[in-house]
């Protein structure tokens, strides 16, 4: 069954989360106190409603218990952000993701049960830094705070060797989930007998620390 999303606060962050979710085919209800923002966003979302989400009766009227995920994208008004998060958890929304403005704000959100706290500018900055820090890293996806998925180059001395020969699982504790060829072809189910060819890259999953060690090795042996 499709997941139901509610995005509260349709400023820059909220509206981009809401439109991205909707264009990926999800059901998305956007909520904002501003009528003009709601009107602007309505064509892009499943529904858009003008309401004050700090009011319990408004949330109930929106059928809040039917939503699987809520995104609280109220930045400026910390008190409102806390109030809304608390109500959403009290009313039983399984996953509440909240945009935090400061460390103290994040701490309070954590205490009242926010399931995920994001700092859009800070998080994006960290990701960009990781991407820029090594030219081996073609792309980087945070799977959880500790685990990531990353596309890394291969080194010349691996060419002709199989994944079994190289045994990345043993030496780096990472899993190779795909091998990408220089012509763009991708093997998404690599087996132990598949060999690395010149200019291949690999998509690996593992602990950030282990991936960092592998990237260090690649940088030193290029
Ligand atoms: P941006 O995502 O643009 O950086 P911001 O962090 O500056 O936003 P605000 O502009 O303060 O955050 O809030 C985002 C949106 O949340 C605004 O459009 C505002 O109208 C809406 N908003 C604020 N309080 C509430 C509320 N109680 N209920 C619903 N929407 C609200």
Domain limits for position 30: 4-118
Number of domains in the chain: 2
User: Cβ contacts of residue 201 below 8 Å, gap of 6+?
Assistant: 138, 151, 152, 153, 154, 179, 180
Whether residue 54 has its Cβ less than 6 Å from ligand 1: yes
Of the residues 90, 118, 146, the one at which a domain ends: 118
**Alpha carbons 42 and 30: distance in angstroms, whole number:** 8
Do 104 and 30 sit in the same domain of this protein? yes
**Probe ligand 1: pick from 8, 9, 75, max atoms within 8 Å of CB?**
9
Which CATH number belongs to the domain containing residue 140 in this structure? 3.30.70.1450
**Probe ligand 1: pick from 16, 30, 32, max atoms within 8 Å of CB?**
32
CA–centroid distance, residue 57 to ligand 1 (Å): 19
Q: Which residues of 12-42 are buried (b: 16+ CB within 10 A; e: fewer)?
A: ebbbebbbebbeeebbbbbbbbeeebbeebe
Of the residues 88, 118, 148, the one at which a domain ends: 118
CA–centroid distance, residue 144 to ligand 1 (Å): 27
Of the residues 86, 118, 150, the one at which a domain ends: 118
Q: How does DSSP classify residue 195?
A: B
Q: How does DSSP classify residue 41?
A: H
User: Phi and psi dihedrals of 184, rounded to 5?
Assistant: 100, -15
Res 66: pLDDT:
95
**Alpha carbons 7 and 5: distance in angstroms, whole number:** 7
CA–centroid distance, residue 130 to ligand 1 (Å): 30
Do 61 and 153 sit in the same domain of this protein? no
Report the DSSP beta bridge partners of residue 48. Answer: 30
Q: Render each residue's pLDDT in the chain as its tens digit; 222 residues.
A: 788 999 999 999 999 999 999 998 999 999 999 999 999 999 999 999 999 999 999 999 999 999 999 999 998 899 999 999 999 999 999 999 999 999 999 999 999 999 999 999 888 887 777 667 655 556 778 788 788 899 999 999 999 999 999 999 999 999 999 999 988 889 999 999 999 999 999 999 999 889 989 988 998 987
CA–centroid distance, residue 76 to ligand 1 (Å): 6
Nearest Cα residue to 88 out of 19, 9, 165, 24: 9
Whether residue 41 has its Cβ less than 6 Å from ligand 1: no
Sign (positive or negative) of CA dihedral 188, 191, 192, 198: negative
Do 136 and 50 sit in the same domain of this protein? no
pTM above 0.85, yes or no: no
Ligand 1 atom 10: residue of nearest CA: 11
Do 139 and 89 sit in the same domain of this protein? no
Q: Give the sheet arrangement for strand 201-207, strand by strand.
A: 139-142, 147-153, 201-207, 175-180, 186-187
Do 133 and 206 sit in the same domain of this protein? yes
Whether residue 28 has its Cβ less than 6 Å from ligand 1: no
Do 211 and 167 sit in the same domain of this protein? yes
Which CATH number belongs to the domain containing residue 26 in this structure? 3.40.50.720
Whether residue 31 has its Cβ less than 6 Å from ligand 1: yes
CA–centroid distance, residue 9 to ligand 1 (Å): 4
């Amino acid at each position: 069954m499709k997941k139901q999303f509610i995005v509260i606060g349709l400023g820059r962050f909220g509206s981009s989360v809401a439109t991205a979710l909707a264009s990926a085919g999800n059901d998305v209800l956007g909520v904002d106190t501003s009528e003009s923002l709601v009107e602007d966003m309505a064509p892009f979302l499943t529904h858009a409603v003008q309401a004050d989400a700090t009011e319990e009766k408004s949330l109930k009227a929106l059928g809040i218990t039917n939503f699987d995920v809520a995104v609280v994208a109220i930045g400026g008004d910390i008190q409102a952000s806390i109030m809304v998060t608390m109500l959403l958890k009290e009313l039983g929304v399984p996953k509440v993701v909240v945009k935090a403005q400061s460390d103290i704000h994040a701490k309070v959100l954590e205490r009242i049960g926010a399931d995920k706290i994001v700092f859009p500018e800070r998080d994006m900055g960290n990701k960009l830094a990781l991407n820029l820090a090594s030219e081996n890293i073609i792309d980087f996806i945070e799977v959880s705070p500790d685990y990531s998925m990353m596309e890394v180059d291969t080194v010349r001395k691996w060419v002709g060797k199989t994944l079994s020969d190289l045994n990345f699982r043993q030496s780096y504790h990472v899993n190779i989930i795909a091998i990408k060829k220089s012509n763009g072809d991708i093997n998404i189910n690599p087996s132990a007998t598949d060999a690395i060819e010149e200019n291949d890259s690999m998509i690996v999953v593992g602990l950030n620390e282990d991936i960092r060690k592998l990237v260090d090795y690649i940088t030193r042996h290029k």
